[in-house]
Structure 1
Amino acid sequence: MAFYNSLGSGVQAEATKLGMSYSTQGAADFTPAAQTPVVDAVCSRHPSLLLIAPTDPVALRPSIQRCMNEGVAVVLVDTTLTDKQGIVSAISSNNIQGGEAAGKIMGQELHGKGEVALMSLSPTASTQVERLQGAKQELKSAYPGISIAATEYTQQAPTSSETTARAIFSGHPGVGAFFGAAEPNAEGVAQATGATGKHVINVGYDASPTEVGLLKSGKISALVIQQPALEGQLGVQYGYDDLTNKKSAIQASVLLPNVVVTTQQASSPNVTKYYYTGTS
């Protein structure tokens, strides 16, 4: 996903600046079953520093603990763990705030009435949970006339989100807005609306090149954009500080603000600087 490509760009730039070598590994699916063997293989090579986005806040703890037991410094980026003992730093976006922003956009565009659907990649990954939590909180408190017709979890491919959106259209024809908590969700909803002729408010997360194109065309109504390159940069910096015994410079927990961009704002230089690099 473009989010992790941009995060990797930040990691690489900071690592080069500090004279550190860098490599990246990733799982094919955003699941603990797929990620755990990758983490185990990486840590068997005894790197000095591991930056990781855990796919589950509990299931990945044993593998990460094994890394730390081998003397590997660990920084969490994007997602987090329930038990952060021994972790150098946990760096993420303010995901609840991002979800609240998405809920507000849907509420305003629907004028406080109607049905919405929520989509996500994972029922357990911390970022995904918090984004849906924020959206639900905002809708419940500020827009009580709006009901949530469906909450669905998809695979990483946009085609999975498209199939899910089509099923929601069929089962809940009154749905007027979607919030997708990850890149592929909004992309898939846009594909589904294009194929079916349905018009809905489509609020997405992140800013992949594909999403940005859909935002500019109006097929995505708004995006909640993170700062992944900065997450990567800070992750390397704090890891380096830990390795060089500059622990007083480390922030144990960082929540970066999001940027919300609508179709009308999509070409403004004030926001284009936040768009991600790399492919979706």
Structure 2
Amino acid sequence: MKKLLSIIMVIVLASFTLVGCQQKDTDSKKIGLIVSTLNNPFFVDLKNGVEKRAKELGYEVVVLDSQNDPAKEVSNMEDITVKNVSIVLLNPVDSDSAVASVMIANNSELPVMTVDRAANGGKVVSHIASDNIAGGEMAAEFLKEQLGGKGKLVELEGLAGSSATRDRGKGFNDGIKGSGFDIVAKQTADFDRTKGLSVMENIIQSKGEIDAVFAHNDEMALGAQKALEDQGMKDVLVVGFDATDDAVDAVKKGKMAATVAQQPLLIGQTAVDAIDKVLKNETIDTFIPVELKLVTK
């Protein structure tokens, strides 16, 4: 897969050498936004946050959906370079494959920022996101308090290779280090609710006793919660990440124990504020963190 993406990158960069030579319209009031997927409430909220703040500041937003496909993301970046945008905001599908997309922007002298998920290479002006490591630690601390620092845990991981998966997992595992917790299963469910349901069903069948589940996002957490509910395992604590409307509702009803609130609307708004400063030739930080909080009943 990495070899294929490398080939794609080389071909794309060669094909768009002429684009890099084109003169950009620096007076354009258009922002490009490439979203990993709009089939996820979190990223819909992120998009809405970008569009709301952009409208307030007088910018037009061109939105493209990568549909969780790295190749589609590359194609979207190719398209955005010829749509007369002043800057592009990239929410990567995968932090490794996003390097190809960032380099296309670099090659065409188009400034690029990443949002929520980082790119593992290329020149990026700034990265705007929650502190995912801190969020993972927050989930770990909550479960330690609720379970007295011991028990059997399941960890549902997000898309392999994404910075959110890596950082949330690191924060959570660092947070439970030295405790009496035992992670009996750790599997990928690609940030998807349906996959979260099916993966959790298989884990229940193979592992039996479970005290808690930490999912790297709410969609997987909600899928896991449904699988547990179907098996009558209502005492298992489920902790998600993102604080989507469905997850917050599940917490209020006692179906989920907690969710780490990432505030996607605020992330989108913060990203546009940063873009506005860049386009006015103001200096910004290379990483702009957005506040997290834990939502419980």
TM-score (norm 1): 0.86
Secondary structure, counterpart of 1:179 in structure 2? strand
Give distance in 1, aligned partners of 2:263 and 2:245.
15
Q: Deviations over 1:96-136 (max 9, x none)?
A: 11001111122222222221010122121001111011111
Q: Which residue of 2 aligns with 1:254?
A: 288
Secondary structure, counterpart of 1:23 in structure 2? strand
Structure 1 position 167, deviation (Å): 0.8
Give distance in 2, aligned partners of 1:135 and 1:211.
19
Is contact 2:241-2:260 (8 Å) kept? yes
Q: Which one of the candidate residues 238, 255, 269 is aligned to 1:202?
A: 238
Give distance in 2, aligned partners of 1:259 and 1:187.
19
Q: Which residue of 2 aligns with 1:185?
A: 220
Q: Which one of the candidate residues 223, 228, 242 is aligned to 2:264?
A: 228
Structure 1 position 156, deviation (Å): 4.4
Q: Which residue of 2 aligns with 1:71?
A: 109
Structure 1 position 84, deviation (Å): 5.2
Give distance in 1, aligned partners of 2:187 and 2:80.
32
Pick closer, same or farther for the CA change 1:122–1:32 going to 2, 3 Å. same
Give distance in 1, aligned partners of 2:93 and 2:233.
33
Q: Structure 1: which amino acid aligns with 2:278?
A: D
* 1:137 counterpart = 2:168: no
Q: Which residue of 2 aligns with 1:111?
A: 148
Give distance in 2, aligned partners of 1:244 and 1:256.
22
Q: Which residue of 2 aligns with 1:168?
A: 203
Structure 1 position 237, deviation (Å): 2.1
Secondary structure, counterpart of 1:193 in structure 2? helix
Pick closer, same or farther for the CA change 1:82–1:28 going to 2, 3 Å. closer
* 1:154 counterpart = 2:189: yes
Give distance in 2, aligned partners of 1:241 and 1:73.
13
Secondary structure, counterpart of 1:114 in structure 2? strand
Is contact 1:46-1:72 (8 Å) kept? no
Structure 1 position 225, deviation (Å): 0.4
Q: Which residue of 2 aligns with 1:24?
A: 63
* 1:9 counterpart = 2:48: yes
Is contact 2:243-2:295 (8 Å) kept? no
Structure 1 position 229, deviation (Å): 1.9
Give distance in 2, aligned partners of 1:157 and 1:81.
21
Query: Could you tell me the percent identity over the aligned residues?
Result: 27
- Uncovered stretches (5+) of structure 2, i.e. residues with no partner: 1-39
Q: Which residue of 1 aligns with 2:6?
A: none
Give distance in 1, aligned partners of 2:264 and 2:66.
18
Is contact 1:100-1:137 (8 Å) kept? yes
Is contact 1:202-1:221 (8 Å) kept? yes
Q: Structure 1: which amino acid aligns with 2:66?
A: A
Secondary structure, counterpart of 1:150 in structure 2? strand
Is contact 2:86-2:110 (8 Å) kept? yes
1:241-280 maps to which residues of 2 (within 5 A)? 241-246=277-282, 248=283, 250-263=284-297
Q: Deviations over 1:227-256 (max 9, x none)?
A: 22222122222222222322x2x2221122
Q: Which residue of 2 aligns with 1:268?
A: none
Moved more, 56-65 or 177-186: 56-65
Give distance in 1, aligned partners of 2:64 and 2:280.
25
Q: Structure 1: which amino acid aligns with 2:50?
A: V
Give distance in 1, aligned partners of 2:136 and 2:72.
27
Is contact 1:88-1:238 (8 Å) kept? no
Structure 1 position 160, deviation (Å): 1.1
* 1:219 counterpart = 2:255: yes
Give distance in 2, aligned partners of 1:95 and 1:202.
18
The higher relative CO (CA closer than 8 Å, separation ≥ 6) is in 1
- Uncovered stretches (5+) of structure 1, i.e. residues with no partner: 264-280
